[in-house]
Structure 1
Amino acid sequence: MKPKKKSLSDLGGIMYSTDPSFVYEEENEIPEQALPNQQQDLRVMLDKKNRGGKAVTLVTGFRGSDEALEKLGKMLKTKCGVGGAAKDGEVMIQGDFRDKVVDLLQKEGFKVKKSGG
């Protein structure tokens, strides 16, 4: 998973080039190592911000490949019977399913904590 680039300095100083043969060279990023489920420290919270008042259950703190994140998201969405998304190291489940998600993740062997209000 690539970290988000939040400022101009994160982009390496180049924003735009008019040279058609220019190729932007990214730094050699070390791929994030996937941790076993027992070492993953996940947080489950309810989020309503910037979602038009709709509540989503947000699972953060996942470390691993994008494929593993998609697989985890698909499993949670299927078990809860709702939609959602898995991207940027987070899994969003539509609706308030905090208790159910915590139980499901604990059965999979993750270390899980409820956070937020």
Structure 2
Amino acid sequence: MDLQDQLKNLFPDHIPENTDSAEEKSPTYWMQEEPILCKYEKRKGKPITILEGYNGADKDFKALTKDLKTLLGVGGSYKKDIIIIQGDYRDKIMAHLKEHGFAVKRVGG
């Protein structure tokens, strides 16, 4: 007897909601006209990818940063209207942002 059967025995009148999330919701971000600048730097000998030029709200920065970190499986942060991702992932980040409708411009190398 699994957990679902036990719950049905305890609460026979309960009608469970559909919790199937087969369709993942694509996060919605604030879109802008200007391109986001994607550049590569080394700080203290470690490579980082910097995204500049996004002028969304604070919650949009937080959502976009979290989405990119989850996509790449790396660390990162956002400070003072700049998103910093650990590692050189310019190509993957640019492809992901273009899928979501952003204009992206590669700066340097």
TM-score (structure 2 length as normaliser): 0.69
Equivalent residue for 2:77, pick from 75, 85, 109: 85
Structure 2: 5+ residue stretches without partners: 1-28
Does 1:42 pair with 2:36? yes
Structure 1: 5+ residue stretches without partners: 1-34
Equivalent residue for 1:96, pick from 88, 91, 97: 88
Q: How many residues align?
A: 81
Query: Which amino acid is the alignment partner of residue 38 of structure 2?
Result: V
Q: Which has the larger radius of gyration?
A: 2
TM-score (structure 1 length as normaliser): 0.65
SS at the partner of 1:67?
helix
When the two chains are superposed, the root-mean-square deviation of aligned CA atoms in Å is: 1.5
Per residue, is there more strand in 1 or in 2? 2
Query: Which amino acid is the alignment partner of residue 60 of structure 1?
Result: E
Regions of 4+ moved over 3 Å? none
Counting aligned pairs with the same residue, the percent is: 41
In structure 2, C-alpha distance between the alignment counterparts of 1:90 and 1:110, rounded to whole Å: 16
Change (3 A) 1:102 1:83: same
